[in-house]
Structure 1
Amino acid sequence: MHVYALMVAAAAVVVPAIADSSTYQGPVVNTTSTTSSSSQTVPSSGSSSSPLPTVELDYTTVQAVGGNATIGYFKYQNIRFAKAPTGDLRFSAPEWPDIETAINTGNLAEADVSCKTSEDCLYLDVWAPADAAGRNLPVMVWTYGGGFTGGSKSGVTPEGLFDLSTDFVYVAYNYRVGIAGLANGPTYQHEGGVANLCVWDSQHAFEWVQKYISNFGGNPNDVTAVGFSAGGSQVMFQMTRFGGRAPQLFHKAYIMSPGYVPGAGHHHAEQFWQNVSSSLGCNGGHLDCMREISYDALVNASNTIVDNYTYQMQPRVDGFIIPDTYEANLYQGHFNFSGPCVISHALHEANSRAYSGVNTQEDVSTYVRIFFPGISDDAVETLLELYPEEDYESAGLRFADMKQSFDLTDKNIALTHALNNETWNAQVALGAASHGADQNYYWYSTYTLNTSSNS
């Protein structure tokens, strides 16, 4: 059975949508010329010169940037799903975008805009079948990986999936990464900064899907969340956000190699925030000052401190949107997701290569403390006993195996425990079977959409 089928197949049980999407019933297509305030007619043939369709939302009109009826789908690019998180909105929760008077032709940003390099980055793409109107199709929402420091909505694209079937709608969104999406600590929060903004951005994107995906022919009651690595953890954070007290925003999940290291707490985050702010001339970490710093300077200073300080850029327990690690929330029943769910891992996620920097057995203990600054001596000794030196050819391989467990593969256990018979565990042993080596098999992609010729 194709991996694709597992990713987008409809579930037997569908949970009702939590957002009211009754305002719109399928795509609204304008029939006037693009020289006016409206857009052109949906093409009925495969001609690359045919006009591209538009879809109306209550705050904007978006026009496809590529595709045609012959290949069977269209791409709508760079739809703003939140206000630009710049100026006073830096370090703030996402807000719904303002009304746009001009047609959005996908050029509000570069096609591959990334939050790693651009602060105005909260855009999403929608890929929809040419005949999506009124079909109420299943929806696949993609969340990319990148260690919470990189990645973008365009890192992978669904042409290969649409070559297999055009019976679903695809959405990919950006979320803030690095210091813009993961700033944390007592001073930061006391100053009014919102912790774990990457998780807030993800929630907002799923809320957008609930509110607007029916305009593109998608069914808000049949949404599958798909994520890889940090993106897989983003999906799990959505399952457990607010300790399970928040509405469910998707109905199925396909989680690939979720990665997340929860060990570094607020003390570590406070030191990092103070180090970065001081290096930028914002002594004391005051938010007003940090909001005036250019984005490039902010990112560069943060990256320098990360390298020098061995700081782990990860979401942290904040007592609010992340009241506890998602593993703890799952074990305690604090989640709002009923399944079904597939969670997969590669056979050798991270243990086939020695971990860089770990050259001696003493380094193993040192790096355990880097990842878990508050760990006790007894806990370190227990960990070393569970991964005995004699089982490994080198110290680097020993620590790599430890990190594979606490960063990646342990997530299966908590989710399987929580969801009982609604979880399917998968192991990928194809190729090198290392972290990310399975992605080519999932996406079936041998070509990309040419937006200059709509082919």
Structure 2
Amino acid sequence: MFTLRVATLAILAFATAPLARSQAPPSVHLDNATFIGNASGVVTQFLGIPFALPPVGDLRLRLPQPNAPYVGVFNASAFGPACIQQPAQVPLPAGLSPSTVQFFEGRSGDPPVVDSENCLTIHVLKPANATESAKLPVLVWIYGGGFETGAADFHTDGSVIVERSIQLGQPLVYVSLNYRLSALGFLGGVEAKKAGVGNLGLQDQRLALRWVQKYIHAFGGDPSKVTIWGESAGAISVALQLVTNGGNSEGLFRGAFMQSGSTQSIGPIADGQRYYDALVANVSCAAANDTLQCLREAPIDKLRTAINASPGMFAFQSMDLAWQPRVDGVFLTDDPQKLVLQDSVAKVPFVSGDCDDEGTLFSLTNANLTTDDEVRAYIASIYFQGAPSADIDAILALYPNDTTQGSPFDTGTLNAVTPQFKRLAALQGDYGFQAPRRFFLQQRTGKQPAFSFLNKRGKSMPDLGAFHSSDVGLIYGPSDMTDYLIRFAVHLDPNVGASADPSASLFWPPYTTASPQLLTFLDGAVPLNITLDTYRAEGMATLTRVSLANPWGAPPA
């Protein structure tokens, strides 16, 4: 196993005494407090600002509570700790190319993550010369990590985005936030439902967006011009923020940008009961009269050990996560895809796109499946529990054991790590990412402006191709993808202002059902093209139909 570690997060201790200053560092006034930040070239940073009361003690496993008005002087010069999370262990099966193994091993040198329960902090990066009256557009980043890992500064430098926005003459304010993860953020089971504490990580995000509305003007941002943006679990979070509350955005955002994540078909919070019961047992709370309160009172080290004993996002069950958003009756009143069908969607312009080979990374976890029968048993018990045999047959027929049709796509017989690897990668990538994206776009076009993209850059990566999350490095590069993001955040249209760009830019057509066009990012001499979102149409339609009837997250048979 290779352990994928989150980049080091500096520990921030909030000071209530004035800071010694040799040169006057940047500061901002919020309520009756002064926050002292960093000057970094053309960007000013204010980091680690608490947006909620620390979710510790009796506030553990409860809805986030807003801060009292700020008072005093705060050091806002470093990121705070990440939220408690599980190690993400990526298996490296035999048969991987040496360069792929080297790629993963090269990332294993990251220092261990520094995490804490006291982690609900927000970070604001702004043009250094932006005054309070600037009223700049605001871009809010929500990180990914399978709802079990991640942090606001995990391999993402928001200064890059702000600097590029200044270069384009379209300056904006960049915001990132931490939200609770794993069992502390996405507890399942009937006990969580009865207590109304499901989807706490999503509730954390919502509270952070309310903080932006209240305070972003002090940083030169316009609270009426907020775009929420995320990748993977962050993109799924963005999609769930769109469908919660009957589609009423409460004015918290006016646009959404989603990379590799959309509304997925997920089941009720009771489906997570087995993980709740195991957690309670491992913390020695099974005999307690109130097991949830016992979890609140348990030593954090003991609770962390119990969380780490649960399946992580690279466990054999792959994308069927132990800790994930579920229908709790509060934040999510129904299966998210059914909410889409009910028109419970915030009617804001949005972008939704994927990488070409979304499923390769997640198919390393089940590379020991080598026969047709094993693959059939796996998807029937993990993803489509309770589905009729005819539906399983239909899916397998549409995703055959043919390496030339598998993922990495368009690589012929290459990259067949195991006899079933490319088949599983195609099926899982479409199931988890491509099909939900297409469903959302098909349901929403004509109702709100929509754009979609496909990232095919990095196809030469052995075994993985243009794999899940490979576009994060592009957008934080920066690259032409960065420019489209910035223009969308500023204008709600990625084409507006393109003439001011020093580099060439291809017109990105809106997505419609009549003309489902994708801005496609490519390697080689022609970096951009327009393609049609019609590939694997029957396969994705079948996956959507079966998943709506059998939402994931249900206990295996």
Contact residue 138 and residue 168 of structure 1 kept, 8 A: yes
Bigger mean CA deviation after superposition, 365-374 or 195-204: 365-374
Residue 240, structure 1, aligned to residue 237, structure 2: no
Unaligned runs of 5+ residues in structure 2 are: 1-14, 86-114, 407-415, 460-465, 480-557
2:240 counterpart SS class:
helix
Q: Match for 1:179 among 159, 178, 183?
A: 183
Residues 185, 60 of structure 1: CA spacing in aligned structure 2 closer, same or farther, 3 A cutoff? farther
Q: Which amino acid aligns with 1:216?
A: F
Q: Which amino acid aligns with 1:386?
A: L
1:46-57 matches, within 5 Å, as 50-57=23-30
1:148-227 matches, within 5 Å, as 148-155=147-154, 156-166=156-166, 167-190=171-194, 192-227=195-230
Q: CA deviation at 1:354?
A: 4.5
Contact residue 188 and residue 286 of structure 1 kept, 8 A: no
Contact residue 176 and residue 197 of structure 1 kept, 8 A: yes
* Aligned counterparts of 2:316 and 2:295: Cα–Cα separation in 1: 20
1:171 counterpart SS class:
strand
Q: Which amino acid aligns with 1:63?
A: I
Q: CA deviation at 1:165?
A: 2.9
1:24-423 matches, within 5 Å, as 50-58=23-31, 60-64=33-37, 66-67=38-39, 71-106=41-76, 111-116=80-85, 117-133=115-131, 134-155=133-154, 156-166=156-166, 167-190=171-194, 192-245=195-248, 247-258=250-261, 262-263=265-266, 265-283=268-286, 286-306=291-311, 310=317, 312-339=322-349, 341-351=350-360, 354-357=363-366, 358-368=369-379, 369-390=381-402, 394-421=419-446, 422-423=449-450
Q: CA deviation at 1:145?
A: 0.5
Bigger mean CA deviation after superposition, 135-144 or 326-335: 326-335
Q: Which amino acid aligns with 1:157?
A: D
* Aligned counterparts of 2:361 and 2:282: Cα–Cα separation in 1: 38
2:39 counterpart SS class:
strand
* TM-score, length-scaled by structure 1: 0.80
Residues 418, 296 of structure 1: CA spacing in aligned structure 2 closer, same or farther, 3 A cutoff? farther
1:104 counterpart SS class:
strand
Residues 124, 164 of structure 1: CA spacing in aligned structure 2 closer, same or farther, 3 A cutoff? same
* Equivalence for 2:455: 428
Post-superposition CA distance 1:92-134 (Å, at most 9, x none): 1111113443311127x85453442311110010001122111
Post-superposition CA distance 1:360-412 (Å, at most 9, x none): 22222333222344444443233223323345563232222111112111232
Residues 210, 90 of structure 1: CA spacing in aligned structure 2 closer, same or farther, 3 A cutoff? same
How many pairs were matched up? 399
Bigger mean CA deviation after superposition, 434-443 or 243-252: 243-252
* Aligned counterparts of 2:50 and 2:204: Cα–Cα separation in 1: 12
Residues 355, 305 of structure 1: CA spacing in aligned structure 2 closer, same or farther, 3 A cutoff? same
Unaligned runs of 5+ residues in structure 1 are: 1-33, 41-48, 447-455
2:75 counterpart SS class:
coil
* Aligned counterparts of 1:372 and 1:317: Cα–Cα separation in 2: 17
Contact residue 264 and residue 336 of structure 2 kept, 8 A: no
Post-superposition CA distance 1:162-207 (Å, at most 9, x none): 33233111100001110001102212322x2500111111111111
* Equivalence for 1:440: 473
Post-superposition CA distance 1:212-242 (Å, at most 9, x none): 1111110011111111010001100010013
* Aligned counterparts of 2:17 and 2:83: Cα–Cα separation in 1: 31
Q: CA deviation at 1:297?
A: 2.0
Residues 35, 57 of structure 1: CA spacing in aligned structure 2 closer, same or farther, 3 A cutoff? closer
1:316 counterpart SS class:
coil
* Aligned counterparts of 2:275 and 2:361: Cα–Cα separation in 1: 31
Q: CA deviation at 1:435?
A: 0.8
Q: CA deviation at 1:418?
A: 3.7
Q: Which amino acid aligns with 1:387?
A: Y
2:139 counterpart SS class:
strand
Aligned-residue sequence identity (percent) comes to 28
Contact residue 112 and residue 154 of structure 1 kept, 8 A: no
Contact residue 143 and residue 150 of structure 2 kept, 8 A: yes
* Aligned counterparts of 2:243 and 2:283: Cα–Cα separation in 1: 35
Q: CA deviation at 1:252?
A: 1.3
* Aligned counterparts of 1:170 and 1:163: Cα–Cα separation in 2: 10
Which of 1 and 2 has higher RCO (CA within 8 Å, sep 6+)? 1
Contact residue 264 and residue 372 of structure 1 kept, 8 A: no
Q: Which amino acid aligns with 2:397?
A: E
Contact residue 355 and residue 399 of structure 1 kept, 8 A: no
Residues 165, 242 of structure 1: CA spacing in aligned structure 2 closer, same or farther, 3 A cutoff? closer
* Aligned counterparts of 1:359 and 1:313: Cα–Cα separation in 2: 28
* Aligned counterparts of 1:59 and 1:226: Cα–Cα separation in 2: 30
Contact residue 263 and residue 337 of structure 2 kept, 8 A: no
Q: CA deviation at 1:76?
A: 0.3
* Aligned counterparts of 1:257 and 1:206: Cα–Cα separation in 2: 21
* Aligned counterparts of 1:100 and 1:137: Cα–Cα separation in 2: 24
Q: CA deviation at 1:353?
A: 7.9
Q: CA deviation at 1:320?
A: 2.1
Residues 246, 140 of structure 1: CA spacing in aligned structure 2 closer, same or farther, 3 A cutoff? closer
Residues 399, 121 of structure 1: CA spacing in aligned structure 2 closer, same or farther, 3 A cutoff? same
2:46 counterpart SS class:
strand
Bigger mean CA deviation after superposition, 88-97 or 157-166: 157-166
1:75 counterpart SS class:
strand
Contact residue 81 and residue 119 of structure 2 kept, 8 A: no
Q: CA deviation at 1:436?
A: 1.1
* TM-score, length-scaled by structure 2: 0.66
Residues 415, 354 of structure 1: CA spacing in aligned structure 2 closer, same or farther, 3 A cutoff? closer
Contact residue 193 and residue 269 of structure 2 kept, 8 A: no
Bigger mean CA deviation after superposition, 327-336 or 268-277: 327-336
Bigger mean CA deviation after superposition, 318-327 or 123-132: 318-327
